[in-house]
Homo-oligomer: A and B are copies of this chain.
Amino acid sequence: MSNVGKIALEEIKILVTNVFLKQGCNKENASALANTITKAEEDGSSSHGLFRVPGYVASLQSGKVNGHASPKIKQVSPVILKCDADNGFASTAHETSLPLLADAAKKNGISVLSIKGCYHFAALWPETEYLARQNLVGFACTAFKPSVAPAGAKEAFFGTNPISMAWPRSNNEPVVFDMATATMAKGEVMIAARDGHNLPDGVGLGENGEPSNDPKDILKGVLLPFGGYKGSAISMMVELFAAGLTGDVFSYEAQEKDNNDGGPPSGGEFIMALNPEIIADSNWEKHCDDFFQKLLSIDGVRLPGSRRHKNRLGDQYRSINEELLLKVKSFL
Protein backbone atom coordinates (compact mmCIF):
# COMPACT_ATOMS: atom_id res chain seq x y z
CA MET A 1 0.00 0.00 0.00
CA SER A 2 3.03 2.31 -0.40
CA ASN A 3 1.39 4.23 -3.24
CA VAL A 4 -1.62 5.39 -1.25
CA GLY A 5 -2.33 9.01 -2.19
CA LYS A 6 0.26 8.90 -4.99
CA ILE A 7 -0.73 9.28 -8.59
CA ALA A 8 1.29 9.29 -11.82
CA LEU A 9 1.54 12.59 -13.72
CA GLU A 10 0.32 10.88 -16.87
CA GLU A 11 -2.73 9.68 -14.95
CA ILE A 12 -3.38 13.23 -13.69
CA LYS A 13 -3.31 14.47 -17.26
CA ILE A 14 -5.76 11.85 -18.50
CA LEU A 15 -8.03 12.37 -15.49
CA VAL A 16 -8.33 16.14 -15.90
CA THR A 17 -8.62 15.94 -19.69
CA ASN A 18 -11.62 13.66 -19.20
CA VAL A 19 -13.05 15.92 -16.50
CA PHE A 20 -12.92 18.94 -18.81
CA LEU A 21 -14.30 17.01 -21.79
CA LYS A 22 -17.17 15.89 -19.58
CA GLN A 23 -17.71 19.43 -18.23
CA GLY A 24 -18.09 21.13 -21.58
CA CYS A 25 -14.67 21.64 -23.18
CA ASN A 26 -13.82 20.51 -26.67
CA LYS A 27 -10.59 18.54 -27.23
CA GLU A 28 -8.35 21.52 -27.87
CA ASN A 29 -9.47 23.42 -24.77
CA ALA A 30 -9.47 20.35 -22.49
CA SER A 31 -5.98 19.40 -23.62
CA ALA A 32 -4.51 22.91 -23.14
CA LEU A 33 -5.94 23.14 -19.63
CA ALA A 34 -4.82 19.61 -18.73
CA ASN A 35 -1.26 20.48 -19.82
CA THR A 36 -1.25 23.53 -17.56
CA ILE A 37 -2.50 21.59 -14.53
CA THR A 38 -0.16 18.65 -15.08
CA LYS A 39 2.87 20.96 -15.45
CA ALA A 40 1.98 22.61 -12.13
CA GLU A 41 1.80 19.24 -10.35
CA GLU A 42 5.02 18.13 -12.05
CA ASP A 43 6.81 21.14 -10.55
CA GLY A 44 5.31 20.68 -7.08
CA SER A 45 3.24 23.84 -7.45
CA SER A 46 0.15 22.33 -5.85
CA SER A 47 -1.69 25.65 -5.49
CA HIS A 48 -1.96 25.78 -9.30
CA GLY A 49 -2.57 22.08 -9.95
CA LEU A 50 -5.54 19.84 -9.18
CA PHE A 51 -6.43 22.29 -6.40
CA ARG A 52 -7.77 24.59 -9.12
CA VAL A 53 -9.99 22.01 -10.86
CA PRO A 54 -13.17 22.67 -8.83
CA GLY A 55 -12.88 26.36 -9.76
CA TYR A 56 -12.31 25.59 -13.44
CA VAL A 57 -15.31 23.25 -13.44
CA ALA A 58 -17.52 25.80 -11.65
CA SER A 59 -16.73 28.40 -14.32
CA LEU A 60 -17.69 25.94 -17.07
CA GLN A 61 -20.86 24.86 -15.27
CA SER A 62 -21.99 28.46 -14.73
CA GLY A 63 -21.46 29.14 -18.43
CA LYS A 64 -18.98 31.94 -17.66
CA VAL A 65 -16.12 30.33 -19.57
CA ASN A 66 -16.36 29.14 -23.15
CA GLY A 67 -15.04 25.55 -23.28
CA HIS A 68 -15.03 25.69 -27.07
CA ALA A 69 -13.00 28.90 -27.31
CA SER A 70 -11.20 29.55 -30.54
CA PRO A 71 -8.77 32.47 -29.93
CA LYS A 72 -8.34 35.05 -32.71
CA ILE A 73 -5.00 36.78 -33.24
CA LYS A 74 -4.43 40.12 -34.93
CA GLN A 75 -0.93 41.37 -35.71
CA VAL A 76 -1.27 45.17 -35.48
CA SER A 77 2.44 45.85 -36.14
CA PRO A 78 5.47 43.63 -36.80
CA VAL A 79 5.99 43.41 -33.00
CA ILE A 80 2.51 43.77 -31.47
CA LEU A 81 0.07 40.86 -31.37
CA LYS A 82 -3.42 41.14 -29.97
CA CYS A 83 -5.24 37.98 -29.02
CA ASP A 84 -8.96 37.81 -28.36
CA ALA A 85 -9.22 34.67 -26.23
CA ASP A 86 -12.90 34.17 -27.08
CA ASN A 87 -13.82 33.95 -23.38
CA GLY A 88 -11.83 30.77 -22.97
CA PHE A 89 -9.16 29.69 -20.51
CA ALA A 90 -5.77 31.41 -20.89
CA SER A 91 -4.07 28.08 -21.67
CA THR A 92 -5.86 27.82 -25.02
CA ALA A 93 -4.88 31.38 -25.96
CA HIS A 94 -1.26 30.59 -25.09
CA GLU A 95 -1.06 27.49 -27.24
CA THR A 96 -2.40 29.50 -30.18
CA SER A 97 -0.43 32.71 -29.83
CA LEU A 98 2.90 32.10 -28.06
CA PRO A 99 4.61 30.63 -31.16
CA LEU A 100 3.73 33.81 -33.10
CA LEU A 101 5.02 35.99 -30.26
CA ALA A 102 8.32 34.07 -30.27
CA ASP A 103 8.65 34.45 -34.05
CA ALA A 104 8.15 38.22 -33.88
CA ALA A 105 10.82 38.58 -31.17
CA LYS A 106 13.27 36.36 -33.04
CA LYS A 107 12.94 38.57 -36.06
CA ASN A 108 12.77 42.04 -34.48
CA GLY A 109 14.34 41.77 -31.02
CA ILE A 110 11.23 42.38 -28.92
CA SER A 111 7.50 41.67 -29.19
CA VAL A 112 4.33 42.01 -27.16
CA LEU A 113 1.30 39.78 -26.88
CA SER A 114 -1.75 41.45 -25.41
CA ILE A 115 -4.42 38.90 -24.50
CA LYS A 116 -7.98 39.99 -23.87
CA GLY A 117 -11.07 38.11 -22.72
CA CYS A 118 -9.35 35.17 -21.08
CA TYR A 119 -9.70 33.36 -17.75
CA HIS A 120 -6.31 32.91 -16.07
CA PHE A 121 -6.22 30.70 -12.98
CA ALA A 122 -2.72 29.26 -13.25
CA ALA A 123 0.95 30.14 -12.78
CA LEU A 124 2.68 32.38 -15.33
CA TRP A 125 5.90 30.43 -15.68
CA PRO A 126 4.47 28.06 -18.35
CA GLU A 127 4.29 31.00 -20.78
CA THR A 128 7.59 32.69 -19.76
CA GLU A 129 9.46 29.36 -19.69
CA TYR A 130 8.11 28.52 -23.13
CA LEU A 131 9.76 31.70 -24.41
CA ALA A 132 13.02 30.99 -22.54
CA ARG A 133 13.18 27.58 -24.22
CA GLN A 134 13.17 29.44 -27.54
CA ASN A 135 16.25 31.38 -26.38
CA LEU A 136 14.15 34.46 -25.55
CA VAL A 137 13.62 36.39 -22.34
CA GLY A 138 10.00 35.97 -21.27
CA PHE A 139 8.01 38.43 -19.18
CA ALA A 140 4.34 38.15 -18.21
CA CYS A 141 1.84 39.62 -15.79
CA THR A 142 -1.89 39.47 -15.14
CA ALA A 143 -4.34 41.09 -12.71
CA PHE A 144 -7.15 39.35 -10.80
CA LYS A 145 -9.94 40.37 -8.41
CA PRO A 146 -9.11 42.81 -5.57
CA SER A 147 -7.54 41.13 -2.55
CA VAL A 148 -4.51 43.36 -1.88
CA ALA A 149 -4.53 46.78 -0.18
CA PRO A 150 -2.38 49.43 -1.93
CA ALA A 151 0.34 50.92 0.31
CA GLY A 152 -1.33 53.14 2.93
CA ALA A 153 -4.81 51.62 2.50
CA LYS A 154 -6.77 49.07 4.51
CA GLU A 155 -9.10 47.91 1.74
CA ALA A 156 -8.51 45.60 -1.21
CA PHE A 157 -8.01 47.19 -4.62
CA PHE A 158 -5.18 45.38 -6.42
CA GLY A 159 -5.34 41.73 -7.38
CA THR A 160 -2.54 39.44 -6.22
CA ASN A 161 -1.14 40.49 -9.61
CA PRO A 162 1.60 37.97 -10.37
CA ILE A 163 4.66 38.80 -12.43
CA SER A 164 7.04 36.33 -14.05
CA MET A 165 10.35 36.53 -15.87
CA ALA A 166 12.27 33.67 -17.47
CA TRP A 167 15.87 33.98 -18.61
CA PRO A 168 17.14 31.54 -21.27
CA ARG A 169 20.19 29.31 -20.76
CA SER A 170 20.95 26.81 -23.49
CA ASN A 171 23.01 24.49 -21.26
CA ASN A 172 20.86 24.77 -18.17
CA GLU A 173 17.31 25.16 -16.99
CA PRO A 174 16.12 28.76 -17.50
CA VAL A 175 16.20 31.06 -14.47
CA VAL A 176 12.55 31.83 -13.72
CA PHE A 177 10.71 33.79 -11.11
CA ASP A 178 6.94 33.81 -10.87
CA MET A 179 5.48 35.57 -7.89
CA ALA A 180 2.40 37.29 -6.61
CA THR A 181 3.01 40.95 -5.83
CA ALA A 182 1.07 40.24 -2.64
CA THR A 183 3.30 39.15 0.25
CA MET A 184 1.80 35.70 -0.36
CA ALA A 185 -0.31 34.31 -3.23
CA LYS A 186 -4.00 33.81 -2.45
CA GLY A 187 -3.71 30.14 -3.47
CA GLU A 188 -1.01 29.66 -0.81
CA VAL A 189 -3.20 31.35 1.81
CA MET A 190 -6.06 29.06 0.80
CA ILE A 191 -3.81 25.99 1.15
CA ALA A 192 -2.69 27.22 4.61
CA ALA A 193 -6.33 27.71 5.60
CA ARG A 194 -7.18 24.21 4.42
CA ASP A 195 -4.21 22.67 6.26
CA GLY A 196 -4.63 24.80 9.42
CA HIS A 197 -1.21 26.53 9.29
CA ASN A 198 -0.62 30.00 10.72
CA LEU A 199 1.01 32.65 8.49
CA PRO A 200 3.96 34.96 9.25
CA ASP A 201 3.55 38.65 10.15
CA GLY A 202 2.92 41.06 7.30
CA VAL A 203 0.94 38.77 5.02
CA GLY A 204 -2.36 40.51 5.56
CA LEU A 205 -5.01 42.23 7.63
CA GLY A 206 -7.96 40.33 9.12
CA GLU A 207 -11.68 40.98 8.75
CA ASN A 208 -11.44 43.90 11.26
CA GLY A 209 -8.58 45.64 9.39
CA GLU A 210 -5.93 44.66 11.95
CA PRO A 211 -2.79 42.56 11.22
CA SER A 212 -3.54 38.83 11.45
CA ASN A 213 -1.71 35.50 11.23
CA ASP A 214 -4.82 33.38 10.67
CA PRO A 215 -5.22 32.49 6.97
CA LYS A 216 -9.01 32.13 7.34
CA ASP A 217 -9.22 35.60 8.89
CA ILE A 218 -6.98 37.08 6.15
CA LEU A 219 -9.16 35.50 3.45
CA LYS A 220 -12.03 37.52 4.92
CA GLY A 221 -9.80 40.61 5.18
CA VAL A 222 -7.11 41.78 2.84
CA LEU A 223 -3.60 40.78 1.72
CA LEU A 224 -0.72 43.28 1.78
CA PRO A 225 1.69 43.97 -1.10
CA PHE A 226 5.25 42.65 -0.74
CA GLY A 227 7.81 45.26 0.32
CA GLY A 228 5.45 48.10 1.29
CA TYR A 229 5.07 51.05 -1.07
CA LYS A 230 7.65 49.67 -3.53
CA GLY A 231 5.81 46.39 -3.99
CA SER A 232 2.60 48.40 -4.21
CA ALA A 233 4.09 50.36 -7.15
CA ILE A 234 4.99 47.09 -8.89
CA SER A 235 1.45 45.82 -8.33
CA MET A 236 0.08 49.04 -9.84
CA MET A 237 2.35 48.50 -12.86
CA VAL A 238 0.86 45.01 -13.28
CA GLU A 239 -2.67 46.49 -13.31
CA LEU A 240 -1.59 49.02 -15.96
CA PHE A 241 0.13 46.44 -18.17
CA ALA A 242 -2.47 43.67 -17.81
CA ALA A 243 -5.54 45.91 -18.06
CA GLY A 244 -4.47 49.37 -19.26
CA LEU A 245 -2.42 47.99 -22.15
CA THR A 246 -4.66 45.05 -23.03
CA GLY A 247 -7.92 46.99 -22.80
CA ASP A 248 -9.34 44.36 -20.50
CA VAL A 249 -10.58 44.88 -16.93
CA PHE A 250 -8.64 46.21 -13.95
CA SER A 251 -9.00 44.06 -10.82
CA TYR A 252 -11.78 46.25 -9.43
CA GLU A 253 -13.70 45.95 -12.71
CA ALA A 254 -13.15 42.17 -12.78
CA GLN A 255 -14.85 42.04 -9.39
CA GLU A 256 -17.86 43.98 -10.64
CA LYS A 257 -18.14 41.76 -13.72
CA ASP A 258 -17.60 38.35 -12.10
CA ASN A 259 -20.46 35.97 -11.27
CA ASN A 260 -18.48 34.65 -8.25
CA ASP A 261 -18.88 31.02 -9.25
CA GLY A 262 -15.54 30.20 -7.59
CA GLY A 263 -13.67 30.10 -10.88
CA PRO A 264 -11.25 32.64 -12.35
CA PRO A 265 -12.51 36.14 -13.20
CA SER A 266 -12.28 37.41 -16.77
CA GLY A 267 -9.24 39.52 -17.57
CA GLY A 268 -6.27 40.30 -19.76
CA GLU A 269 -2.65 39.21 -19.81
CA PHE A 270 0.44 41.08 -20.96
CA ILE A 271 3.30 38.95 -22.32
CA MET A 272 6.59 40.19 -23.73
CA ALA A 273 9.46 38.40 -25.43
CA LEU A 274 12.96 39.88 -25.77
CA ASN A 275 15.68 38.45 -27.97
CA PRO A 276 19.19 38.80 -26.50
CA GLU A 277 20.69 37.70 -29.83
CA ILE A 278 19.55 41.03 -31.29
CA ILE A 279 19.54 43.33 -28.23
CA ALA A 280 22.71 42.14 -26.47
CA ASP A 281 26.29 41.49 -27.52
CA SER A 282 27.27 38.18 -29.09
CA ASN A 283 28.83 36.89 -25.84
CA TRP A 284 25.66 37.49 -23.79
CA GLU A 285 25.14 33.87 -22.85
CA LYS A 286 28.62 33.31 -21.38
CA HIS A 287 28.45 36.73 -19.73
CA CYS A 288 25.16 35.85 -18.01
CA ASP A 289 26.25 32.33 -17.10
CA ASP A 290 29.23 33.82 -15.27
CA PHE A 291 26.81 36.09 -13.42
CA PHE A 292 24.62 33.16 -12.37
CA GLN A 293 27.66 31.13 -11.25
CA LYS A 294 28.95 34.04 -9.21
CA LEU A 295 25.51 34.58 -7.65
CA LEU A 296 25.18 30.88 -6.78
CA SER A 297 28.63 30.84 -5.17
CA ILE A 298 27.37 33.15 -2.40
CA ASP A 299 26.46 31.39 0.84
CA GLY A 300 22.68 31.11 1.30
CA VAL A 301 21.66 31.99 -2.28
CA ARG A 302 19.63 29.89 -4.70
CA LEU A 303 18.41 30.77 -8.19
CA PRO A 304 14.67 31.49 -8.54
CA GLY A 305 12.79 28.54 -10.03
CA SER A 306 15.43 25.97 -9.09
CA ARG A 307 13.20 24.18 -6.59
CA ARG A 308 10.50 23.70 -9.23
CA HIS A 309 13.02 22.44 -11.76
CA LYS A 310 14.39 19.99 -9.19
CA ASN A 311 10.88 18.66 -8.49
CA ARG A 312 10.43 18.17 -12.22
CA LEU A 313 13.46 15.92 -12.42
CA GLY A 314 12.18 13.63 -9.63
CA ASP A 315 9.93 10.59 -10.13
CA GLN A 316 6.73 10.83 -12.16
CA TYR A 317 4.36 10.36 -9.19
CA ARG A 318 2.84 13.08 -7.02
CA SER A 319 1.21 12.92 -3.59
CA ILE A 320 -2.26 14.37 -3.84
CA ASN A 321 -4.66 15.20 -1.02
CA GLU A 322 -7.17 12.33 -1.17
CA GLU A 323 -10.21 14.47 -0.50
CA LEU A 324 -9.21 16.69 -3.42
CA LEU A 325 -8.68 13.68 -5.68
CA LEU A 326 -12.15 12.35 -4.85
CA LYS A 327 -13.62 15.76 -5.56
CA VAL A 328 -11.90 15.94 -8.99
CA LYS A 329 -13.08 12.41 -9.87
CA SER A 330 -16.63 13.37 -8.94
CA PHE A 331 -16.67 15.65 -12.01
CA LEU A 332 -16.21 12.69 -14.38
Contact = CB atoms under 8 A, between A and B. Distances in A.
A167 B244 contact: yes
A252 interface: yes
Given A79-B110, A114-B279, A274 B245 contact: yes
A137 B243 CA distance: 14
A34 B155 CA distance: 43
A274 B152 contact: no
Interface string A297-310: 01111101000000
A165 interface: yes
Chain A interface helix/strand/loop/mixed: mixed
A246 B298 CA distance: 24
A299 B155 CA distance: 9
Interface string A151-179: 11111010000000101000000010101
B245 A80 contact: no
Copies of this protein, total: 2
Given A298-B157, A300-B154, A301-B152, A78 B108 contact: yes
Interface stretch (A9-17, A37-45, A58-66, A232-240): A232-240
Contact of A244 (B112, B291, B302): B291
A279 B244 CA distance: 10
A300 B154 CA distance: 8
Interface stretch (A211-219, A222-230, A318-326): A222-230
Given A150-B295, A177-B233, A179-B233, A245 B276 contact: yes
Contact of A240 (B167, B229, B234): B167
Contacts of A150: 295, 298, 301
Interface residues of A, number: 67
Contacts of A274: 112, 245
Contacts of A272: 110
Contacts of A287: 243-244, 247
Contacts of A250: 291, 294
Contacts of A231: 226-227, 230-231
Interface in A112-146: 112, 114, 137
B247 A76 contact: no
Most interface-central of A112, A227, A288 (chain B CB within 10 A): A227
Interface in A17-54: none
Interface of A: 76-80, 82, 107-112, 114, 137, 150-155, 157, 165, 167, 175, 177, 179, 181, 183, 226-231, 233-234, 236-237, 239-240, 243-247, 250, 252, 272, 274, 276, 278-281, 283-284, 287-288, 291, 294-295, 298-302, 304
Q: 6 smallest A-B Cβ distances: which pairs?
A: A227-B227, A247-B281, A152-B300, A80-B109, A226-B227, A177-B233
Given A110-B110, A157-B298, A244-B280, 14 more contacts: A77-B108, A80-B110, A150-B295, A152-B300, A165-B233, A181-B230, A183-B227, A226-B230, A227-B227, A227-B228, A229-B304, A243-B287, A244-B288, A245-B280
